[in-house]
Structure 1
Amino acid sequence: MQNVLLRAAAFACLGVATLVGLVGQAHAAANCIKGDRKPPYTIGWANIYSVPTWMKETQGTIEKEVDALKAKGLVSKLVVTDAQGDANTQIQQIQSMIDANVDAIILIAGSSSAPARVLAAACAKGIAIMNFDSLVDTDQVTAKINTDSAQWGAQAATWLIDAMGGKGNIIVLNGPAGVSVSDDRRKGATPVLAAHPDIKILTETNTAYNVAPAQEAVTNLLFANQQIDGILSLGGALSAGAINALDKEGRPMVPITGENARQFLEMWKSKNLKAWATMQPNWLGAFATYAAVQALQGKDVPAFVKIPLPVISNANVGEYLAKAGDFPADGYIYSPYSDGLFDQLLAQK
């Protein structure tokens, strides 16, 4: 009888231990999360560079979200670094965050491969790692958050072809060569264009995501190409530069794609253009911050969160411009966001 009781007690203890283990596993539902970090949390924002307006706006959404989380007692501090475009500097700054034992790291990667080792070290330490926009190759992060850049390019090409009636000459404007977002947008457009042989690509160019260099590049293309029927622009500032170039050279406006750059949207409306745009929402930074805190609290956060691409058309461009005063003149008018939207995105399967 004594042996039976001892066995029963042992099984009971094993059951409790198993239950505790399962609870611990449930609490650490997301990758890298161990469940031993308690609020208020310290958030690290490992910024690759801070100069472009898009990045400044993105950091603004992070700071706003941190303020909201501070008010709830969930966050105590935001640590911000700026690698000034240098991937190696960013790696060193991430290591400093690890040494300081931050609870979460928010990351736009300066390199897809270089940060792998330092991110693995952060993950092993139980730090939540939220990677958005420019993604890393490693899976040693809590979550990757992004729109589908290939879909971006495919949708832009499809709209332009339809707007041109399926035939004509186009030029293609890409972002800087080697930037993953730009390359992926162009890859997405490729099969769509290939399926329409009556659309002729006269030429294409790579340029920085700024109006002035884009205008200069398009001006050169205009001199070399007299008949242009459409412009496949894979960036908003590129579109604004293209319109400036057409205007200055007295060339007719043609169907054009782009994104949510305020200058482009204002030109679109004032010149009554036939245009289409989407966006890489600046609030991806806020969402990454919110998701990091959710993960640290034991909530299930998917390894990849796909953000739907909002579409700006002639039907709703006015709605975006109605909010223009809330954004910088050289900034991006992004769509509204809320914790409710963030919860819906995290609930995606």
Structure 2
Amino acid sequence: MHLSGSENSRRRRGLLMGVAAASMLVAGSGAASAAANCIQGDREAPYTIGWANIYSVPTWMKQTEGTIAAEVEELKKAGLVDDLMITDAQGNAQTQIQHIQSMIDANVDAIVVIAGSSNALDRVISDACDKGIAVVNFDSLVNTDKVTAKINTDSGEWGAAAAQWMVDQLGGEGKIIVMNGPAGISVSDDRRKGAQPVLDANPGIEILTETNTEYNVAPAQEAMTSLLFANPEIDGVLSLGGALSAGSVLAFDRQGRDQVPTTGENARQFLELWKEKGLEGWATMQPNWLGALSVYAAVQALEGKDVPAFIKVPLPVIGDDTIDGYLARADQFPADGYIYSDYDRALFDKLLAQ
């Protein structure tokens, strides 16, 4: 199991979470009196949690799984969870459906899921809800509302803010490349949809072409390298993912091309390249701790708490005035990882109280 962050950071966070978890145990013992969607039946702590992962290869996913595992350990100490079932669909939505069905057959108490398809999972997710299982969906979302909660940043807002920054940097005129994550993944599609109204309102911005790649540096760099040969004039890169941005910067650098204004995410490599190359950059963050928050929300629902149907997590903005604060913590994260913000139970409770 990959757990990200420094040991000291984990210990500090664990202490905070352990104290809060102990108090939650006192308040939440006994059978749940269901208030949240999907919860039904005589489900009592300690609970079994299913983590239906779409794929575990990208570092972002490994870090996210690390926050899930860490949260489960705290809940185990509080007597609220006894087991975590983990599956890896290796990018195949049909395999993910089979894994979720296996969790339903095993009658787990909660399923936490990042969807490999926004619509293909609807039937099996709805079935889990009908069986009284808490279902918390984060990051890449399903279409069905038959879940206990959906947790996400606003991906449309993400795309719109990135596009507006690019328009402002270029003074409304220029040729750009748009870099997207995998097609059909809601977080990728929604970011792109969010950018479109801004681009439509600024016809001086010409989209030369677009890419769709995994959220990994190597395929993004390969894709951008090909585009550099085909496009001698590129004024900006509207990248809608952090690893994509790092791949783009590396491609420009290795082809001897001048860097251009580039948007991105809190990927450590991108932030480091941004500083090293004196890049004109903009970034935001999809926090890895959305996974930990999802587990916490599921257990709260099972304990009878009224969990919101949608939990919106605010987007930070990383710019020249804030990047140093992220880079100061870089050594706490993998070289190919994401520098995400700290989290604790107080933050989780605040978000659940929306």
Q: Is the structural similarity TM-score above 0.5?
A: yes
Alpha carbons 1:35, 1:297 under 8 Å: kept: no
Q: Once the 2 structures are TM-superposed, how far is the Cα of residue 41 of structure 1 from its aligned partner?
A: 1.0
SS at the partner of 1:209? coil
- Whether 1:291 and 2:302 are equivalent positions in the alignment is no
Q: Once the 2 structures are TM-superposed, how far is the Cα of residue 178 of structure 1 from its aligned partner?
A: 2.5
C-alpha root-mean-square deviation of aligned residues, in Å?
1.5
**1:167-178 matches, cutoff 5 A:** 167-178=173-184
Q: Hey, what does 2:139 align to over in structure 1?
A: 133
Q: Given residue 117 of structure 1, which amino acid in structure 2 is its aligned partner?
A: R
Structure 1 residues 121 and 224, CA gap change in structure 2 (3 angstroms):
closer
Aligned partner of 1:195 among 189, 198, 201: 201
Q: Once the 2 structures are TM-superposed, how far is the Cα of residue 117 of structure 1 from its aligned partner?
A: 2.8
Q: Once the 2 structures are TM-superposed, how far is the Cα of residue 332 of structure 1 from its aligned partner?
A: 1.0
Q: Which moved more, 1:166-175 or 1:115-124?
A: 115-124
SS at the partner of 1:79? strand
Alpha carbons 1:46, 1:94 under 8 Å: kept: yes
SS at the partner of 2:147? coil
Aligned partner of 1:223 among 189, 212, 229: 229
Q: Hey, what does 2:7 align to over in structure 1?
A: none
Aligned partner of 2:263 among 252, 257, 263: 257
Q: Hey, what does 2:37 align to over in structure 1?
A: 31
Aligned partner of 1:146 among 141, 147, 152: 152
Distance 2:246 2:296 in 1: 33
Aligned partner of 1:315 among 312, 321, 337: 321
Distance 1:120 1:195 in 2: 39
Q: Given residue 324 of structure 2, which amino acid in structure 1 is its aligned partner?
A: G
Structure 1: give runs of 5+ residues left out of the alignment: 1-25
Structure 1 residues 259 and 221, CA gap change in structure 2 (3 angstroms):
same
Q: Hey, what does 2:62 align to over in structure 1?
A: 56
Distance 1:252 1:81 in 2: 43
Alpha carbons 1:27, 1:35 under 8 Å: kept: no
Structure 1 residues 177 and 94, CA gap change in structure 2 (3 angstroms):
closer
Aligned partner of 1:76 among 54, 76, 82: 82
Q: Once the 2 structures are TM-superposed, how far is the Cα of residue 109 of structure 1 from its aligned partner?
A: 1.5
SS at the partner of 2:119? coil
Structure 1 residues 175 and 121, CA gap change in structure 2 (3 angstroms):
closer
Aligned partner of 1:240 among 246, 271, 281: 246
SS at the partner of 1:105? strand
Q: Once the 2 structures are TM-superposed, how far is the Cα of residue 214 of structure 1 from its aligned partner?
A: 1.4
Q: Hey, what does 1:67 align to over in structure 2?
A: 73
Deviations 1:245-303 (A, max 9, x none): 11112211111100111110110111121100012111110000000010011111011
SS at the partner of 2:335? coil
Q: Hey, what does 1:43 align to over in structure 2?
A: 49
- Whether 1:337 and 2:320 are equivalent positions in the alignment is no
Distance 1:143 1:274 in 2: 37
Higher Rg: 1
Structure 1 residues 79 and 278, CA gap change in structure 2 (3 angstroms):
same
TM-score by length of 2: 0.88
Distance 2:291 2:105 in 1: 23
SS at the partner of 1:65? helix
Give the count of matched residue pairs. Answer: 323
Q: Given residue 239 of structure 1, which amino acid in structure 2 is its aligned partner?
A: S
Deviations 1:186-242 (A, max 9, x none): 111111011112222222222222212212221222222222221111111111111
Aligned partner of 1:281 among 262, 287, 305: 287
Alpha carbons 1:265, 1:317 under 8 Å: kept: yes
- Whether 1:186 and 2:231 are equivalent positions in the alignment is no
Alpha carbons 1:49, 1:84 under 8 Å: kept: yes
SS at the partner of 2:198? helix
Distance 2:79 2:310 in 1: 27
Alpha carbons 2:118, 2:185 under 8 Å: kept: no
- Aligned-residue sequence identity (percent) comes to 72
Aligned partner of 2:307 among 296, 301, 313: 301
Q: Once the 2 structures are TM-superposed, how far is the Cα of residue 35 of structure 1 from its aligned partner?
A: 6.2
Structure 1 residues 89 and 207, CA gap change in structure 2 (3 angstroms):
closer
Structure 2: give runs of 5+ residues left out of the alignment: 1-31
SS at the partner of 1:44? strand
